[in-house]
């Protein structure tokens, strides 16, 4: 992704009667919406009196409620845009996986046999997702178990079989905590800005079987009835990535379960309404043990006991984590969380690296420069049905892109202050305001 400049901003193509994502692709442009940021370096500004031309100086184009951000770091800045702005190149970021349904013929051919066996042995049995056998009167509700088999499309155009063993028909009306916060774009922007402005190293991780390893701490629990047909466990280990001794252990554990039996749900089983919250509770507990304090939705920081600027920061989007710490401490931070949570993948978003997090494309250009956008998210969003749902007519006039001047605070129009309080709160919590 290239740096936005005023000269490169151009008008969005006219919205026609079809899906305007088609116009995006034809024009090979990039939509850049409110809340997204682009870093801009400026070679001085002759329009401002007394402003020298300096290759190291950047100017802030900021909304009226963000002056505290601009005064802290004069070397770098972000352009907050309030309407669509375009760039020439399409996104290089992953657009997310596509799950395709399978046919009965494919199931009969055994295409998902190994995938279902691994889901049952490793994820369900291996994680002790189901506990002891129970009777109906011992639990608040009983749910049936079922299979969801799909093909997962890969980035290289290939596909692999996926099988999920989940609870179906959950209609229990008991009171359980189902809330799990989703980080806002403003929160991601602020966290990334804090990391880059303090010279921290940034990383991203994906947690393995996050739900199935999260203990169900609800006072009243659920029982799950197994299907009458379970995957057959062969005598010989069919998996190359599972050691033979581990396979033998899983095979012995699987023998404890009988098809058609009802067992206590011990972990965050797919399909239960509180599953995501169970993992969120687990993550918050791990953060507290490691000296972190959750300060906002999905954001936890580690600061000195007597106060001062945060020394490390962790942000989560379900089972994906964004981490930040000084370069000499970041690797230890990731390895410590890995021991407690178990990572499927772990990386450092260094110079020239790119990563997607919660629908936001993150590109680390240099230690002091980072680009954020929601390009790939918007490219993959079909907006055509929205007009029918809202029962509104499509706008006939094209949208206009913003240049730097039009992004400056308006003295005539009312300013949208919806982000004022959360951004002030985050900045104050990080001990990173004007000094």
240 and 126 assigned to the same domain: yes
Flag whether 26 is in a domain: yes
Which parts of 321-363 fold into alpha helices (H)? 327-341
343 and 202 assigned to the same domain: yes
107 and 246 assigned to the same domain: yes
Q: What is the predicted pLDDT for the residue at 94?
A: 54
Domain around 207: 185-211+275-355
- The residues facing 414 across adjacent strands are none
Number of domain units in the chain: 3
Flag whether 146 is in a domain: yes
160 and 261 assigned to the same domain: yes
Q: What is the predicted pLDDT for the residue at 184?
A: 79
Flag whether 254 is in a domain: yes
105 and 153 assigned to the same domain: yes
157 and 261 assigned to the same domain: yes
Residues 76, 196: contact at Cβ < 8 Å? yes
Flag whether 365 is in a domain: no
Burial readout 16-45 (b: 16 or more C-beta within 10 A, e: otherwise): eeebbbebbeeeebbbbbebbbbbbbbeee
Flag whether 370 is in a domain: no
Flag whether 345 is in a domain: yes
Flag whether 372 is in a domain: no
- Token readout for 350 is 């260094």
301 and 412 assigned to the same domain: no
Pairing of strands 312-317, 360-366: unpaired
157 and 54 assigned to the same domain: no
Series of mean pLDDT values for 10-residue runs along the chain (435 residues): 31 30 33 29 35 30 26 31 32 59 87 92 92 91 86 79 79 60 80 89 88 84 89 92 94 94 90 83 90 88 83 89 92 91 86 85 86 78 66 57 48 60 58 45
Task: For residue 257, give the nearest of 220, 296, 228, 288 by alpha carbon.
Answer: 228
350 and 388 assigned to the same domain: no
Site of tokens 């184009």: 61
Residues 200, 325: contact at Cβ < 8 Å? yes
Q: CA of 428: how far to CAs of 79, 109, 296, 338, in Å?
A: 21, 59, 12, 29
195 and 281 assigned to the same domain: yes
Residue 306: which CATH number? 3.30.70
123 and 108 assigned to the same domain: yes
Flag whether 368 is in a domain: no
33 and 146 assigned to the same domain: no
């Amino acid at each position: 992704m290239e740096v936005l400049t005023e000269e490169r901003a151009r008008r969005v193509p006219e919205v026609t009667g079809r899906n305007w994502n088609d116009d995006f692709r034809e024009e090979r442009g990039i939509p850049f919406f409110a809340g997204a940021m682009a870093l801009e370096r400026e070679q001085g500004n002759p329009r401002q009196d007394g402003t020298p031309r300096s290759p190291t100086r950047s100017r802030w184009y900021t909304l009226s409620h963000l002056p505290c951000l601009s005064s802290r770091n004069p070397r770098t800045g972000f352009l907050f845009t309030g309407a669509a702005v375009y760039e020439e190149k399409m996104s290089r970021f992953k657009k997310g996986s596509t799950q395709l349904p399978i046919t009965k013929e494919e199931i009969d051919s055994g295409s998902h046999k190994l995938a279902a066996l691994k889901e049952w042995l490793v994820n369900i049995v291996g994680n002790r997702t189901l506990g002891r056998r129970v009777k109906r009167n011992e639990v608040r509700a009983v749910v049936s178990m079922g299979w969801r088999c799909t093909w997962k499309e890969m980035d290289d155009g290939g596909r692999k079989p996926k099988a999920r063993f989940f609870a179906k028909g959950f209609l229990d009306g008991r009171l359980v905590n189902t809330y799990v916060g989703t980080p806002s774009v403003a929160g991601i922007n602020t966290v990334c800005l804090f990391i880059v402005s303090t010279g921290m190293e940034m990383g991203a991780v994906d947690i393995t079987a996050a739900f199935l390893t999260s203990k169900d701490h609800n006072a009243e629990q659920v029982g799950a009835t197994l299907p009458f047909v379970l995957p057959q466990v062969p005598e010989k280990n069919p998996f190359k990535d599972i050691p033979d001794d581990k396979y033998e252990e899983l095979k012995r554990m699987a023998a404890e379960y009988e098809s058609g039996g009802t067992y206590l749900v011990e972990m965050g089983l797919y399909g239960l309404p509180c599953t995501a919250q169970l993992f969120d509770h687990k993550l918050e507990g791990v953060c507290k043990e490691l000296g972190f304090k959750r300060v906002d939705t999905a954001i936890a920081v580690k600061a000195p006991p007597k106060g001062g600027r945060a020394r490390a920061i962790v942000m989560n989007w379900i089972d994906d984590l964004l981490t930040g710490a000084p370069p000499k401490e970041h690797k230890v931070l990731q390895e410590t969380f890995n021991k407690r949570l178990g990572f499927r993948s772990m990386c450092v978003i260094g110079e020239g690296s790119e990563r997607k997090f919660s629908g936001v494309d993150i590109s680390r250009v240099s230690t002091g420069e980072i680009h954020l956008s929601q390009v790939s998210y918007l490219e993959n969003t079909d907006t055509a049905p929205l007009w029918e749902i809202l029962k509104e007519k499509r706008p006939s006039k094209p949208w206009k892109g913003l240049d730097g001047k039009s992004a400056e605070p308006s003295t005539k129009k009312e300013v949208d202050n919806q982000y004022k309080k959360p951004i002030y709160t985050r900045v104050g919590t990080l001990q990173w305001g004007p000094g």
